[in-house]
Structure 1
Amino acid sequence: MLEVLTNPNGFFHNKINDEVEMKTPLMIMAVLALVGVISSVLIIQKTMEMLPPEAAKFAPVGIVAGIIGAIIGTLLTWIIYSGLFYLISMFFNGEGDFKRLLEFTSYGFIPSIVSGLISAYYTNQLFDNLDFSNPELMQELIKSDPSMKIVSIIGIVFLLWSANIWIFAIAYSRNISVKNATIVVGLPILLYVLYVASQFF
């Protein structure tokens, strides 16, 4: 499976001849969801430590909500990305089953596992230095903190790595050219990168 990170063209060229299987994709998304859960729990715990004691009793509820949100968010992201790729590829006469596209799209989230862990580390470090008594100041500190800019840059780099994987995933699963697959993947990725850049830069 590591071949998909270094040679996605060869990986999907061979994979397209196999039957659709969802066990591996579900494992990839489960690990990504776990990373999201870890990040959410860390943030909630840090937040609760800064709140008055009477508010701390709601910590278990917040943690459960964070866990559920991370899992649902991960699954929705997978489905939304796959749905966007499917719809945009229709303009290039894409052919192929959505389940196959869903399978192949999951492999592009592998780099997100690493970037998610890095993001969780830096976010945890940032929350150690925040003053929760002033929400407006806290928001400004988050935006101006260098670590958040580092997280954003790292996130973009890993997203581009994912995009490289998705290009070949779409090309093979939807039976379109690599050039057209680049456009299919590039449009939503470009919009997301511009959004992130506008928030922090």
Structure 2
Amino acid sequence: MLEVLTDPNGFFNRKINHDIEWKTPLIIMAVLAVIGAISAYTVTMKIMGALPEEAAAFAGIGAVFGIIGAIIGIFFMWILYSAVFYIISLVFHGEGDFKRVMEFVSYGFIPNIAGSIVSLYFTNKVFSNIDFSMTDPQLLQEAILSDPSMRIAGILGIIFLLWSANIWMFGLMYSRNLSFKNSAMTVGIPVLIYILYTLLNLKLLGV
């Protein structure tokens, strides 16, 4: 399976000749869901721990909702990415089953596993230095986004996303029977939009 990280073209070239298989994709997304749940729990507890005692009493409830939201969010993201790629590929007359697209898109999330672990480390570092006693949500948001660790996490996240995009391009090329150029455009458009959005949020574009 790790071959998809170094030779996605060869990996999907062989994989397309096999029946659709859900075990590995579900394991990949489940691992991401666990990391997301840990991250949500960590962040929620840090926020609640800085609140007044009467509000902190609800920390457990907030953590549970955070964990559930993180797990649902990961699987929703899997479906969303697959749907976006599938719809854009229609412009290039792509042909292929949506289930096959979902299967191949899941492999593109493997770099996200490492990315999520790195992000968890930096997020934990950021939230350890934030003063949650600030009452102005805007000031709190600016404090979080201006933290150097958050910017490092954002830049590393973009690097891992580009790695994922490389895998998705080959995955879409085979699952939707596209030329590499059309597959690159199918994946590149939403990925570029997301990268620009991230850079703007991190105030790295000077806009």
Would the TM-score normalized by the shorter structure come out above 0.5?
A: yes
Q: Matches of 1:138 and 1:118 in 2, distance apart?
A: 23
Structure 1 residues not aligned, in runs of 5+: none
Residue 154 of structure 2, aligned match among 130, 152, 155: 152
Question: What is the TM-score when the length of structure 2 is the normalising length?
Answer: 0.95
- Cα distance in 2 for residues equivalent to 1:110 and 1:127: 26
Q: Deviations over 1:50-96 (max 9, x none)?
A: 01111122111111101110011001100010001101111111111
Deviation of 1:48 (Å): 1.2
Aligned equivalents of 2:159, 2:179: Cα separation in 1: 24
**Residue identity matched to 2:181:** K
Residues 1:48 and 2:48 are matched in the alignment = yes
Q: Which runs of 5+ in 2 are unaligned?
A: none
1: CA distance, partners of 2:87 / 2:96: 12
Partner of 2:77: 77
How far apart, CA to CA, are the structure 1 residues paired with 2:13 and 2:179?
13
Q: What is the deviation of 1:136?
A: 3.7
Correspondence for 2:3: 3
Cα deviation for residue 137 of structure 1 reads 3.1
1:65 corresponds to: 65
What is the root-mean-square deviation of aligned Cα atoms in Å?
0.8
Letter in 1 for 2:145: K
Shift of 1:43: 0.2
Question: What is the deviation of 1:138?
Answer: 2.4
* Counterpart pick for 1:182 among 184, 187, 194: 184
Normalising by structure 1, report the TM-score: 0.98
Counterparts of residues 122-201 of structure 1 (less than 5 Å): 122-134=122-134, 135-200=137-202, 201=204
- After TM superposition, the runs of 4+ consecutive aligned structure 1 residues lying more than 4 A away are none
